[in-house]
Chains A and B, each alone.
Chain A
């Protein structure tokens, strides 16, 4: 009986780990650069914001705003922010 519950918990744990890791973004997604995400994502609702529009500090605020409003993952938003901050001068 005890054995059975150990086995089921192992199967369950393997299942959960398998599920969670399958939830992870694919290598294709994680390899995307900030510039690429900006080009693909920041055009979906409005024209892509030109990097020179804002200072680094302003981009810091605006990209968090967009992370929330446009449902970006924190990773996507951070990459876009770093791209915009690097490209604005």
Chain B
């Protein structure tokens, strides 16, 4: 018995040398190369997205044609271990003829356990789904954002802070949650831009008061297939500058989001329905009447809302390749900003598009969009703006 223990390893070793000897020099070289190419634990990836195209924008009888393509978004990702992950997106764009870099997000995530991941840094806020999950040019099926998102929008974009997020199943049902503490949005008090008094600013790095804003989102998948998701989001915090008469002004923001992605086998198509409703309520405050020397003030009920609903359909399962790459999309959106404010407006927008997918993240988008009721106090008569575009968007 004891002998066997001695013989076995010797036998195995000799087998090993035999196997090695039988390897040709070529395959030994290949094995050597393989070892040197063995990936390490820390893994880096560079990605991003870009879009370019032609826009034709008509308002008040005049059409402007413009080639667009001055923005680029490189993204870097770094996985240090199965738990530790870093992501950052930079946004380069021409602003008044000068090229400038901005930091869209940069955050570190640590997977604590199966149900919890903590993130810290500047991140896309999980307020609804559009900004966090759908806005990149190769994901958004239209080239524009719905009313209420982006420049002069009422929905928050990014902020700095910490966040806890996770997902788990309860039987067939899946839940996901995100809860965060951030520096928070800031109130425009009208001292710099009198026409925008009472608006919120999002995405700023520094805090203007010591009150941290808190918020979160709860997402709910009622079916085991994950086809349907309904989400509820909220964000609340003081928004006025510390020590100013706006110091106690608080903003409460809410959103409801909806997503249904389903295979309609009788049409050999995928249908995708998405929507989000945003509501913003900002505490009352008195703002100075612009260009008035007698210290006159005005106020208004500072509530806004916006929503969009989008339907897209792609005949992914028809045998003709050209047709299976086509996609039809329609979106309706609407926004109401406060009555009595200098940024009061109630536009509605209809956008339709025809897309051709070259691969899963490269698309040519042909679109038309008409927006009614655009305006601010500089143009008392609300205007209509029409836009045609052809864009090429790609994720890389």
* Residue positions of A touching B, CB distance < 8 A: 22-26, 28-29, 40-41, 43-50, 53, 56-58, 60-62, 64-65, 67-75
B224, A47: Cβ atoms closer than 8 Å? no
B167, A71: Cβ atoms closer than 8 Å? yes
Within 8 A of A (CB), among B102-138: 109, 111, 114, 117, 119, 129, 132-134, 138
CA distance A61 to B172 in the complex (A): 28
Residues of B within 8 A of A53 (CB): 360
Residues of A within 8 A of B167 (CB): 71-73
Q: A68-B165, A70-B133 are in contact. Are A22 and B85 (CB under 8 A)?
A: no
User: Out of B45, B78, B171, B360, which one reaches A46, CB within 8 Å?
Assistant: B360
Q: A28-B224, A60-B79, A61-B77 are in contact. Are A73 and B133 (CB under 8 A)?
A: no
Min C-beta distance of B34 to chain A, whole Å: 13
Residues of A within 8 A of B139 (CB): 45-46
Q: A44-B261, A69-B133, A73-B168 are in contact. Are A26 and B224 (CB under 8 A)?
A: yes
A45, B85: Cβ atoms closer than 8 Å? no
B229, A74: Cβ atoms closer than 8 Å? no
CA distance A47 to B360 in the complex (A): 5
Starting from the known contacts A46-B138, A46-B361, A65-B77, 20 additional A-B residue pairs (CB-CB under 8 Å) come to A25-B169, A28-B224, A40-B225, A41-B226, A44-B229, A45-B129, A45-B133, A46-B139, A47-B357, A49-B360, A49-B361, A50-B359, A67-B111, A68-B85, A68-B111, A69-B133, A70-B133, A73-B114, A73-B169, A74-B111
Minimal Cβ-Cβ distance residue in A for B136: A46
Minimal Cβ-Cβ distance residue in A for B37: A57
User: Out of A61, A69, A75, which one reaches B43, CB within 8 Å?
Assistant: A61
B168, A23: Cβ atoms closer than 8 Å? yes
Minimal Cβ-Cβ distance residue in A for B79: A61
Summed over the interface, the residue pairs from A and B with CB atoms below 8 Å come to a total of 94
> What is the predominant secondary structure among interface residues of chain B facing chain A?
strand
Q: Does B97 contact A (CB under 8 A)?
A: no
CA distance A65 to B170 in the complex (A): 24
* Residue positions of B touching A, CB distance < 8 A: 39, 43-45, 77-79, 82, 85, 87, 109, 111, 114, 117, 119, 129, 132-134, 138-139, 165-172, 174, 176, 178, 219, 224-227, 229, 259, 261, 270, 357, 359-361, 395
Min C-beta distance of A47 to chain B, whole Å: 4
CA distance A45 to B130 in the complex (A): 10
Residues of A within 8 A of B259 (CB): 44
Minimal Cβ-Cβ distance residue in B for A41: B226
Residues of A within 8 A of B174 (CB): 29, 73
CA distance A44 to B176 in the complex (A): 15
Q: A44-B229, A46-B360 are in contact. Are A60 and B133 (CB under 8 A)?
A: no
Min C-beta distance of B175 to chain A, whole Å: 9
CA distance A14 to B227 in the complex (A): 34
A62, B360: Cβ atoms closer than 8 Å? no
Minimal Cβ-Cβ distance residue in B for A28: B224
Residues of A within 8 A of B395 (CB): 46
CA distance A12 to B70 in the complex (A): 62
A26, B133: Cβ atoms closer than 8 Å? no
A68, B119: Cβ atoms closer than 8 Å? yes
User: Out of A45, A49, A71, which one reaches B134, CB within 8 Å?
Assistant: A45
Min C-beta distance of A69 to chain B, whole Å: 7
Minimal Cβ-Cβ distance residue in A for B167: A71
B229, A64: Cβ atoms closer than 8 Å? no
User: Out of B129, B171, B357, which one reaches A22, CB within 8 Å?
Assistant: B171
Minimal Cβ-Cβ distance residue in B for A71: B176
Residues of B within 8 A of A28 (CB): 172, 224
Residues of B within 8 A of A44 (CB): 226, 229, 259, 261
Residues of A within 8 A of B357 (CB): 47
